Structure 1
Amino acid sequence: MKQWFAMAALAAVVVGAQAQTFPGSKPVTIVVPFAAGGPTDRVARDLAEAMRKFVPGGNFVVENSAGAGGTIGANKVAKAAPDGHTLLLFHIGMAATPALYRKISYKPLEDFEFLGMVNDVPMTLIGKPQLPANTYRDFENYIRANAGNLNIAHAGLGSASHICGLLWQSNLQSKEAMTTIPFGGTAPAMTALIGGQVDVMCDQTTNTTQQIESGRVKAFAVTTAKPLSNHPVLKHYPSLQEMGLKGFNLTIWHGLYAPKGTPAAITKTLNDALKKALKDPEFVKKNEGLGALVVNDKRVEPEEHKKFVAAEMIKIKAAVDAAGKYAD
């Protein structure tokens, strides 16, 4: 018994020492699995700036490691040393990639320590300006009347717009699916929509609000459970759930992760810093400017974060299986 207490005491000392010395002189790198300048990159840079305030001596930097729908950057972090100095900021793709790719070199629920959710970004369902419909109900009727003759754009496999389009079509249950038109990013997809080369797209408010406000695209609905009544532009549009797609509630959330095996003392330090960053007025203001909602619920806790991602994986897999669209 004495030996057990001695070992427990030693373990406590080691954990305490790890917490006190982290991060030391080495910077904490937040890996973004997408190109610089996009919505996830902006969230990461704002988060790095906020978390720096709450980790004594901490220097947080952002590194972009793009490609293969985010899987290259995610794999890099999964294989990194579990010392808290390499983190991953990933969006809903963390839950989607196992369904979209037949083979990935990491397991999202097993190869990471979940540190907490960061924010939710609502989505909007938009159409080309030439569409005759002006309301969601008219739009839905138009889709059914033109089954098989319409197409839907997205910004690439595993992108927010791709996932949103899959889930929406799965819930819509129209007689014939739209033709999917992939692009190499949000900008070319939006350009094609504005120009009338594609019919429909579903994408983040960070990318759509300005186009809706200027009248360059038509908006029909938001993907949140309830209408965005406080949003200056999108408050005029219904939610898909309100329009009859029961249970439809999709936001492009972001979460923070560390490699599996990162010591508990370090993950606690990072989670504590994350929680404080999410309450930082400057960080909240920046998120509001992006149309994002900072998480202030139980998903900031690692275990709840993990449960949420696991549930999202089930939901997305069902939609992907129904569509039958994968990548090798």
Structure 2
Amino acid sequence: MDNRVTIARREIAGLRAEKTILLALGIQLFIAAFSSFLVVGLVSMYDPGALEGAQVETAVTGEAVAELEAAAADVEGVRARPYADSDAAAAAFADGRVDAVLVGTRRDGRIHVDATVPDSNVETTVIVVQLRSVLRTLEAAERDRRSDALSRPPLAVPDGGTSAPYYGFTYTVLVPVLVFVPAFISGSLTIDSITEEIDRGTLELLRVTPATLVEIVDGKALAAIGLVPAQVALWLGLLRLNGTPVAGVGRLLVLATAVAGIVVGIAAALAFLLPDRRAAQICYAMAMLALFGGASLLPRNPVNATARLAVDGADAGVTLTVGLVAGAAVAVVAVTRTIVVRAGP
């Protein structure tokens, strides 16, 4: 065990020269440390509906001005300005006095609305989201008005959920990224470490020492796997400091370590089967895609299991998934050690 620990310490000390790995760690550190700041911008891409409430000045004109004004009044952040005709509204839009234009016309007893928004503007997404809310409100009002003429009342539409999109994004996207990315980086690090030793011939020098080939690989894998729970614990701690509590930290660390064992084991095996660094990295990327796809066969997808653990919503399926992943990690490590032994000189 002393030989493995010595090699593991050597590997960790050598990380200072790996600029790519240090950059990846820095990016993860930035995401975790400033998560509450980044999530606001990221949620706008994950769920544009989260932008509802932004201030939008809208010109309304046409035959349905009253209806458009009433709909806009019910949407927070939208201010409707009536104009005599579409030309005046277009001129106000061109001058920048309004952010968008809504022209309502009546055709065959229905209201048709033409919307004009900025083209390729950073505010376009915000404006479109707000106008969508206005049009939905108008549609609901028209349906309520027409329902009086129906022979029977329509079915009531259930109220939408009130959960914040920031909550869903944080626990279904941000937390899984911070839990699993360190494992994938460790796998890539393992391939680089082993193939570099083979290319430079230093692996033969290491074999002159009392450490066996299996102990050398064990030491490298120990360093790569050991970094994962340390990183995950740090990232989750930074999330907590940013006001994002994460439950089930213990089982999350077990899951992250088990995934790291699988990934690092596969990476080490590929490094010995394909000593060429580029070929090994390509096969590693393909193996990770296959692994990600195969994970859907588990009782709970690891990403889903991570989200459930983080919100303290774990069930029997999540517990079973963690157990299966841990068992798979032990099996992969055992197979990898067998491959290393057969590699011989």
Q: TM-score range by the shorter chain?
A: under 0.3
- Structure holding more helix per residue: 2
Greater C-alpha Rg: 2
TM-score by length of structure 1 reads 0.24
**More contact order relative to length (CA 8 Å, sep ≥ 6):** 1
